[in-house]
Homo-oligomer: A and B are copies of this chain.
Amino acid sequence: MGANILIVEDEESILELIAINLHQSGFTPIRALNAEYADKLIHEAVPDFIILDWMLPGMSGIDFAKRLRSNTSTKKIPIIMLTAKSEEENMIKGLDSGADDYLTKPFSPRELVARIKAILRRKAPELIDEPIQINKLHLDPTTYLVKSNGTTLQMGPTEFRLLHFFMKNPDRVFSRNHILDKVWGNQSDIDDRTVDVHIKRLRDSLTLAKHHKLIQTVRGIGYRFCENHKQ
């Protein structure tokens, strides 16, 4: 359920403050007092999110962020940077296109949590989401199960993510490329048309519960998940 969030911050009091607040918000905080230790932790288990102090002993936050961006396995981890008021001016100079957002100290913990959620909602909704139910179709991200009237529907991982994405954004139309971006990830060396095939597979899975009509084709645009059957 809770996303693993790595906090890299050399001031222990701030580190704790953040950790406690994240924990209370349902996340799993992972603590690191410096970049070296953070590295070790990342090597053990790649976190879902990183909160990075800009001023760190040894390697600076910026350099650390850059290294994270250049490594394939950590490239896509969202990063929020923390900076002191006085460093604000330098901050912008070093702000790599990689950082997703930043906060100036002192900041409210609520603000921090809000921004984390906002970024996660956009980049990895499955880490933040609760079970969704639409039209007797019930999807639970924690158990990875899709049910309808008690029966469990079978589908592959990609179809599950696709369905989750659609149920999270009902009624909206998405282009194939948008879907690729959100469901596959931003690598996109994948053919547009592959989406068609997975839509087909998802529809097949939903057919058992007569829910296949939920996914509609919008010609020339893309696909839409619509709770309104009649069209």
Given A88-B85, A173-B142: A220 touches B17 (CB 8 Å cut-off): no
User: A228 an interface residue at 8 Å Cβ cutoff?
Assistant: yes
Chain A residues with a Cβ closer than 8 Å to the other chain, count:
53
A96 within 8 A of B: yes
Instruction: Indicate whether A187 reaches chain B with its CB closer than 8 angstroms.
Output: no
CA distance A217 to B117 in the complex (A): 29
Interfacial chain B residues near A173, Cβ < 8 Å? 142-144
Known interface pairs A89-B105, A102-B106; 6 further A-B residue pairs with C-beta atoms within 8 A, sorted by A's residue number: A13-B92, A84-B89, A92-B105, A143-B172, A145-B171, A157-B221
Residues of A whose CB lies within 8 Å of any CB of B are 11, 13-14, 16-17, 20, 24, 83-86, 88-89, 91-97, 99, 101-102, 104-106, 108-110, 115, 118, 122, 142-145, 151-152, 154, 156-157, 171-173, 218-221, 224, 226, 228, 230-231
